[in-house]
Amino acid sequence: MSSTERAPALRSAEWYSGDDRNAYIHRAWMRRGAPGDAFTGRPQIAIANTASDLTPCNRHLTEVAASVRDGVHAAGGTPLELPVVSLGETLVRPTAMLWRNMAAMATEEMLRANPIDGVVLLGGCDKTIPSLLMAAASVDLPAVVVPGGPMLTGTFRGKPLGCGTDVWRLSEEVRAGTLSADDFTRSESSMIRSRGHCNTMGTASTMALVAEALGTVVPGVAGTPAPDSRLLESAHLTGRLAVEMVAADRRPSTFLTRASFHNAIVALAAVGGSTNAVVHLLAIAGRVGVELTLDDVDRIGSRVPMLVDVAPAGRFLMEDLHRAGGLRAVLREVRDLLDPAALTVIGTPLVDGLDDATIWDPEVVRTRDDPVVAEGGIAVLRGSLAPDGAVVKPAAASPHLLRHRGRAVVFDSIEDFDARVDDPDLDVDENSVLVLRGCGPRGYPGMPEVANLPLPPKLLARGVRDMVRVCDGRMSGTAYGTAVLHVAPEAAAGGPLGLVRTGDVIVLDVPARRLDLDVPAGELATRRPDPATEAAFANPRRGWERLYVDHVRQADTGADLDFLVGSSGSDVGRDSH
């Protein structure tokens, strides 16, 4: 800020300035030993902390918050830790996705309701960074993210373990009879080696990197391993930055633009990121008022080369990506595909400084002329089975299944699937298409990560390790396989997925971006959902689930609630006393 510019008036002054009774109450109750100037004239910086013992990937964020606090103090601000809703992906039932919008709404309202001038957002586990960014976009106060970082690599029998990905792999080997249950259990203590979130390119890692590509993280910080002391250094510097952002009035609306989302989609493809990022990016864009569609995701990202050789689509893990140069090295390789107009939280374009980024290990971060996959982005499919779209991650799929025609084997719910998949008499072969419905935003409710269905044991025993799977739910970012996800409209919203019958032929053509049900249109028009199908859909009576089912939008628009789309700003119309 130049010497001729004046810093904007502090929002917190509306609470603390003056000599009336209300100002007295606000100051007196907050002081508790603090000096008199702690709440007047100093930027009040909230530290929105998702640390929780029940979100194991985020437990260390309390230590990160202490470093942020020191940075805020050093820059002349007043730090205020604000615990916010935390969602542990591995524990929360029925699915963390059900609560993402609630977490975003609660955080937004607490930021708006309190005397806060800016906020540092501490997230890690899958839904925490998306919910924090949705909140920040809606309240539009100066905001910056510190990602909690991935865990270090654990090993079992001398081999590295990718958490999530190797759970799916090892559990399938148990079901196939090639790994004992005792050995599977023994691997459990090796899977999670340290603090931090999943060390594969799952949703947590993806959203941290995508958040940096959006411009909401200090460049170069995303992907720093959780136990790395440099994460604490970055947290301290981010605390300082938050004070600067308030002085510069640098809000999400000033740097989260269409160009930012363009760059996020390019980054998503280049790192081989999770399909879950699509639904989160659509929701964040909806909050900030940027028009973003599934077609944009395909148009911008589907033919971007995948350069990061990290599981589940590659060989290495997130600790290796950090060692090899991190996101900045990846972005340098695809710089010509980035929009140079997009800004970041530090006030400069994302592309600034990329010339100094270096690939230190070309096995982990590939060069442009030696990609892991030539076209690594997420493909968007449409057709008679997905009129409003579906997504698939070709890099995680089997190449021979990207064009496939097979007979549907239909399951009305995950419980129906679990009850029948192990039956040796199940009428299924390797050419079948497993169809799971009732798992969309309304139907479950909350869109669980169940679409990477385990394969029938009788096929596993024959060496089959992948099949085409179609679902209106999601897939874990740590998973792999030929899974078509986010089918919209979902079955519970009247989508054609609810009309599929076992024996119908499904045609998948990823290169042509098609997903079709090979049933005459006339016959399909006469079909109605089976009563058993409709009986499996969620019908909650009360509480958040009732509100969610009544107001959630479909996956192709981000599965946000219809009344939460858009920004409400930070104004509060009335006093509390």
Q: What is the pLDDT of residues 39-51, one digit of tens each?
A: 989 999 999 999 9
pTM for this predicted structure: 0.95
At residue 487, φ and ψ (nearest 5 deg) are -60, 125
CA–CA separation, 56 vs 65, rounded Å?
A: 16
pLDDT band, residue 230 (cuts 50/70/90): very high
Which residue intervals of the chain bear CATH 3.50.30.80?
379-539
423: helix, coil or strand?
coil
C-alpha count within 13 angstroms, C-beta hemisphere, residue 499:
21
288: helix, coil or strand?
helix
Q: What is the mean pLDDT of residues 367-391?
A: 95
Give pLDDT, residue 151.
96
How would DSSP label each residue in 219-279?
Answer: TT-TT--TT-HHHHHHHHHHHHHHHHHHHHT--HHHH--HHHHHHHHHHHHHTT--THHHH
Task: Indicate if the pLDDT at residue 522 is higher than 70.
Answer: yes
Q: What is the mean pLDDT of residues 443-450?
A: 96
CA–CA separation, 265 vs 380, rounded Å?
A: 13
Is pLDDT larger for residue 193 or for residue 145? Answer: 145
Q: Which two tokens stand for residue 308?
A: 């990061």
The answer to whether residues 31 and 78 touch, using CB atoms and an 8 Å cutoff, is no
Task: Indicate if the pLDDT at residue 443 is higher than 80.
Answer: yes
Domain 379-539 classification at class level: alpha beta
pLDDT-wise least confident of 381-390, 413-422, 444-453, 567-576:
567-576
Give pLDDT, residue 3.
43
Number of other CB atoms surrounding residue 53 within 10 Å: 9
Write out pLDDT tens, residues 128-157.
999 999 999 999 999 999 999 999 999 988
Contacts of 465 (CB under 8 A, 6+ apart): 172, 455
Q: Across the chain, what does the average pLDDT equal?
A: 95
CA–CA separation, 398 vs 384, rounded Å?
A: 23
Q: Which two tokens stand for residue 1?
A: 């800020």
Q: What is the mean pLDDT of residues 359-366?
A: 98
Q: Which two tokens stand for residue 468?
A: 């085409």
Give pLDDT, residue 502.
98
Give pLDDT, residue 396.
87
Write out pLDDT tens, residues 71-123.
999 999 999 999 999 999 999 999 999 999 999 999 999 999 999 999 999 99
CA–CA separation, 64 vs 50, rounded Å?
A: 11
pLDDT band, residue 6 (cuts 50/70/90): low
